[in-house]
Amino acid sequence: MDDLRTILLSHAARYPEMEPADAVKLLFQSEFGGGHLITDPDACLAYLRTEWERTPRDLAASLVEDIGGGMIRVMLGALSEPQEVEALGRDFICSAARVHGTMEEFSEKLSVLRAVTAEGIFAFSPAALDGYLTAYQAAGCPAVSHSETYRNLYRPAYRVLRREDFGGGR
């Protein structure tokens, strides 16, 4: 889990105002991917196109962000052509069918998050994380959204997939 520790440190530095929900979302995605979003592949592709059209282009930004467990976030703002978006959509749908995380592994990742949080690297405290996790685990550890703070500051727009399923790149 040293790799996970490195990823948490990297995200804490890149997104200094992240909250417990954002850290848990990161770990959830690294274990289970983003396939919970796919109920209808055609609708999924249509939504991706719309989201990409609304996302400001930042062609200097990194295309891929490592989130651990062999998973990546592919940044929509780094895509410049509609064909790239279509390819990403196909890769995302394919990847979602191949991701099979476990609650056991996810729980281990949450333990690493607790340990890293105790080191003081996040803006939130260990007590804030514990409070969040108590409610989160009581709810059955569902997929969560980014915090409002994270959404407002960092404007996340990406898709999560297994690195090996991503055919794009530049």
Q: Which residues lie across from 73 on neighbouring strands? A: 65, 160
Q: With a threshold of 0.85, does the pTM exceed it? A: yes
- Say what the pLDDT of residue 170 is: 41
Span 152-166, pLDDT tens digits: 999 999 999 999 999
pLDDT one-digit tens code per residue, 64-106: 999 999 999 999 999 999 999 999 999 999 998 888 899 999 9
**pLDDT > 70? residue 37:** no
Strands annotated E in 30-166 = 64-68, 71-75, 158-162
The 10 Å Cβ neighbour count of residue 162 is 18
